[in-house]
Chain A
């Protein structure tokens, strides 16, 4: 890192620190009632307490589990379906209008449907999370498969490559930048829907913790949960970016 980059990083941390300071100031001056707004000190204490008693660990694990299963299912199904639709012009023509109808449908609207059919269960959460998270992945995969350089298919034909080899050696790697970008978008969707499902269905997780804390006016615990959700979103997104960077090293060479 050069000097300028270090300075920028220091500056960005300073901004974050001043926000926390402002928050502490507002809490100390009791501009908002302490019942609703704990200071960062109390939120931090609640975090430490939650982790040392083990409560927050199990809630965090619950949310991560919902998120991971839903996201993985969405990824597998989204890439598979997207590959089938994207590699055939006929399929794209027939299926695209239905997708255009389903895609903008708010996932929250299908939650009651899912609850009616599957009950307040883990299966319902898995269905809702993966249904919401599948769209960015599937649409990105369709686009990626449709955009494979036709010349490469001719190369594959001249090499008499098998259908399977064409998919795994030509189409998938070619579409991988699109697919990974879709998977990164879906990660956020999966987290949001995990929390929503936990709140609505009372499933074990940070969403449930946040809801119960708010109802009991335990504002410090509430904020601890919210902070933890923010950190979860941030860490998973950074991890995904690192994976993308590593998998798409060839693209860096291209620029």
Chain B
């Protein structure tokens, strides 16, 4: 504990990280998936993690979620070790179809998070309506997930995560299964939602453009075992714009750097 506290104080002027990997190593079934990962995520930061498939991106996210415990090293949240998942950390899964309750309507799915938080039933309907409106699903409260498109289902999952009032949002390739237009729309919505809530985001993706477009910082992982290979600060103006941001010389420079990195890891 003392050494961890010391580490965090080494850079004066920076706030304490909300999520801190401290030499975290994860061994599953005799295979080292993540090795000696040290990484601090500041409150309100939007961090993107990219890497070739099988590099441990999703595993790193699951460590941050408390769904896995590191074999050695530490993962801290607000200075406390993560022993189990907690409500302040919401997870948006890629497979929204499996993460939603098919027997509950859109309203019922959002309600699940409110029930878990112990909100009295009288207060829930208004809050559910507000959340569904926030993610662009007003008027769909009575629909079952199976009656909604992929994009709508993912919005619904995001609404349920927002209902947790998370300090941190962990997103695991949330738009990977969606078509390009839907994906761009959701990217902008996530940016404005996060700007409004001030939550910290760790966003895993295999889409390098998406990572640069969204992030304050992009980390590229090297595979076998997963470790940090590249770290890029994204100094692009906010709010980001689908056309002008993607044409910005800095965007193109970062994109080039990241593509070269990924290409090198695949050889």
- Give me the interface of A with B, judged by CB distance under 8 Å: 149, 151-152, 154-155, 157-161, 165, 169-170, 173-174, 176, 250-251, 253-254
Contact = CB atoms under 8 A, between A and B. Distances in A.
Interface in B58-101: 65, 67, 84-87, 89-91, 93, 95, 98-99, 101
B103 A158 contact: no
A253 B147 contact: yes
B102 interface: yes
Contacts of A251: 102-103
B116 A165 contact: yes
A161 B84 CA distance: 12
A177 to B, nearest CB: 9
Given A154-B91, A253-B147, A254-B146, A165 B85 contact: no
Nearest to B89: A158
Given A173-B103, A174-B103, A157 B87 contact: no
The 7 closest A-B pairs by CB, nearest first: A159-B116, A254-B146, A151-B98, A253-B144, A158-B85, A250-B103, A157-B85
Nearest to B111: A169
A159 B99 contact: no
Contacts of A250: 102-104, 144, 146
Interface residues of B, number: 26
A31 to B, nearest CB: 55
Given A154-B91, A254-B144, A176 B103 contact: yes
Given A173-B103, A174-B103, A254-B102, A158 B65 contact: yes
B115 interface: yes
B25 interface: no
B19 to A, nearest CB: 15
B86 A160 contact: yes
B113 interface: yes
12 contacts: A151-B99, A152-B101, A154-B67, A154-B99, A155-B91, A158-B65, A158-B67, A158-B87, A160-B86, A250-B104, A250-B146, A254-B146
A158 B91 contact: yes
Given A157-B85, A159-B113, A169-B115, A151 B102 contact: no
Given A158-B65, A160-B86, A165-B115, A152 B144 contact: no
A165 B113 CA distance: 12
A158 B103 CA distance: 20
B205 interface: no
Contact of A160 (B104, B116, B146): B116
Contacts of B103: 173-174, 176, 250-251
Contacts of B116: 159-161, 165
Nearest to A254: B146
Nearest to A172: B103
B153 interface: no
B101 A170 contact: yes
A115 B115 CA distance: 50
A9 B31 CA distance: 63
Nearest to A151: B98
A159 B101 contact: no
A254 B144 CA distance: 8
Given A151-B93, A158-B67, A158-B89, 17 more contacts: A151-B95, A151-B98, A151-B99, A152-B99, A155-B93, A157-B84, A160-B85, A160-B86, A165-B115, A169-B115, A173-B103, A176-B103, A250-B103, A250-B104, A251-B103, A253-B144, A253-B147
A158 B90 contact: yes
Nearest to B146: A254
Interface string B134-172: 000000000010110000000000000000100000000
